[in-house]
A and B are shown apart, each in its own frame.
Chain A
Amino acid sequence: MLQIEDLWVEVRGREILKGINLQIGTGETHCLFGKNGSGKTTLLVTLMGFSGYKVKHGRILFKGEDITHLPINERAKLGLGLSFQRPPTLRGVKLKNLLALFDKKSDAGVQLAADYNFEDFLGRQVNLGFSGGEIKKSELLQLLAQGPDLSLLDEPESGVDIENLDVICQMIRKLLQKEVRKNRQKSGLIITHTGLILNYVNADRGHVMLNGQIYCHGNPRDIFERIRNYGYEECAKCRLFEQGF
């Protein structure tokens, strides 16, 4: 599904990503851990193609196609979707109008909002005055309406209360076709600090990003336990060990 090869990325003249290699197979869910400022969001928005994130070296293959220099909307059309950590506010643009853009004929967006108890927000301007948790819900709702094959989720559960965590995780499970056991088509890359999501959404692999590089690949629960017990710095040390696999 996704293949990142030796990706170097610069933001405002500063090197942020330094040689990222990562592969995500069809139907797989991966988790990305890492310190604040280590470059996780940078990786996701680079995959999506945002301006200001300059690929200096390496390439991104999606469904076998080189998308490194494709415009954002064409990546979206190919099946890439991003739930933003901090999305911009769209003044005057109502959430329901945005959802309607995905499907002009049906009221699928309205139905989705009803399913996840978000109807009251349909008439609100996108992200204007939304609370932290509401932003996450709105992002996932948009992704569900969009229906990408690879969902890039940037801290989808940060700032979400216990009850809503349940709802958010249901949304993610739906997005990633977690109910489908055989021939699952949908893949995901999820950034998480809390690891809470692992209790609801089964993930296949975990990765740790430190200072623009990926250290340590492995079982996400094990990695998260290790980070909890020994901190991120230990991850840097066990890199060599991981590479033996």
Chain B
Amino acid sequence: MNYSENYYDTKDFSDDDLLETFTPASEVERPKDIGEFEEEELVRLKQTGIDLTTPDRTGTFIQTNSSVLKCDCEAQGVELLSITEALKKYDGLKDYWWKLISTEKDSFTREADQELDNGYFIRALPGEKVIYPLQTCLYIRNENVAQRIHNIVIAEEGSELQVITGCSTHPHLTSGLHIGVSEFYVKKGAKLIFTMVHNWGENVYVRPRTGIRVEEDGVFLSNYIALKGAKSVQNFPTATLAGPNALARFNSVIVAPEGSDIDTGARVILKAPGSRSEIISRTISFGGRVVARGHLVGLASDIKAHLECQGLILAEHGVIHAIPELEAHVADVDMSHEAAVGRIAQEEIEYLMARGLSEEEATSTIVRGFLDVRINGLPAELNKELQEVVEECHKGM
């Protein structure tokens, strides 16, 4: 049997009714300038990892509804364009456009294919090491809008690049639909760190569709942070490690408040010998539901892959469903997984209490540790956000 890259992507999440519910972003108000943003919106962006004041960013891209309000990047060695411009400039991006995801995957990919609003194109030139991250923001500003995005990120041979993407909705908006197709190409010896922050309104539906391809000696590190929940998220990026010694690591920190349903995870197909992968998720439910998936597929010898799902339920009615899957097609692989869900072990709390900590202090120490996954290049503002979530934990107990 031929295990092509799309072979595994069989699950169909199509939902035509959902598409009907929302107004296309292209048909609503098109803000012209970021200057129109109110203070609370800028605060919101900051909470989503987007900082318009710091000099420590290589470039900034902001798309609101269907309009690109900002697309600035002065730095040499890296290119930042809206995807519509990039398609013109590079003659349809033939080698990259819909190459890692099928347009026919489900109703959302079809929608993004036919009714594209815009998206970003980022490319680090060969050998360029971009020190500060580029930040991109996908923002829905009006009620009940469907935003359809397609992004392409390319780290050319030997380059290094960091991207922070913040996806959010207007602070007073409750309902919306975000469809985001993203394709990441990490070429030989390149390194890409991608941090995605979700900060949605209560009734927002989120449908990212992501494909990643990592070549020989390439490194892809993904951080996904979603601390505020959403009505429904389905996020299941698939990375293919296509060249020897390629590496992909996915970290996620997810908090599900009451009323949110977050189905997330990652799949890594280890196709080349010596490739390595790690999927680590930390999830907390305050009453919402989280499905934490992980699927490692070992197709070549001498690979190493590990999956770790840890979930804490801190409120009644919370559901955490960990689905770790290991699939080896050859004998010479080192693949493992570890999953644990439940409440904080009483023994751990009491251990800290024996050192003099109150029950609350002990709990927050453990939760803080729980959320402390290695997050490379996480902006300070986000670290603060993480801490605030920890404080929330007391209330949930």
Contacts and interface: CB of A to CB of B under 8 A. Distances in A.
Contacts of A146: 355-356
Interface in A71-96: 71-73, 75-77, 81-82, 84, 87-88, 90-94
Interface stretch (B61-69, B147-155, B365-373): B365-373
Interface in A91-110: 91-94, 97-98, 101-102
A50 interface: yes
A142 B355 contact: yes
Contacts of A75: 354
Size category of the A interface is 20 to 34
Interface residues of B, number: 25
A97 B359 CA distance: 17
B359 A73 contact: yes
Contact of B356 (A88, A90, A94, A102): A102
Contacts of B366: 90, 92-93
B348 to A, nearest CB: 5
B351 A92 contact: no
A183 interface: no
Contacts of B369: 90-94, 97, 125
A90 B355 CA distance: 14
A82 B310 CA distance: 29
A142 B361 CA distance: 17
A17 to B, nearest CB: 19
Given A51-B350, A77-B356, A102-B355, A93 B310 contact: no
Contacts of B370: 91-92
A48 interface: yes
A142 B354 CA distance: 11
A100 to B, nearest CB: 11
Most A-side CB within 10 Å, residue of B351, B354, B358, B373 = B354
Contacts of B365: 90, 93, 97-98, 101
Contacts of B354: 48, 50, 72-73, 75-76, 81-82
B4 interface: no
Contacts of B353: 71-73, 76
B331 interface: no
Contacts of B12: none
B348 A73 contact: no
A75 B354 CA distance: 8
Contacts of A90: 348, 351-352, 365-366, 369
Nearest first, the 7 closest Cβ-Cβ pairs linking A and B are A92-B369, A93-B369, A72-B353, A76-B356, A73-B353, A92-B372, A88-B347
Interface of A: 48, 50-51, 71-73, 75-77, 81-82, 84, 87-88, 90-94, 97-98, 101-102, 125, 142, 146
Given A73-B354, A101-B361, 15 more contacts: A48-B354, A51-B350, A73-B357, A75-B354, A77-B356, A81-B354, A90-B351, A90-B369, A91-B370, A92-B373, A93-B365, A93-B369, A94-B369, A98-B355, A146-B356
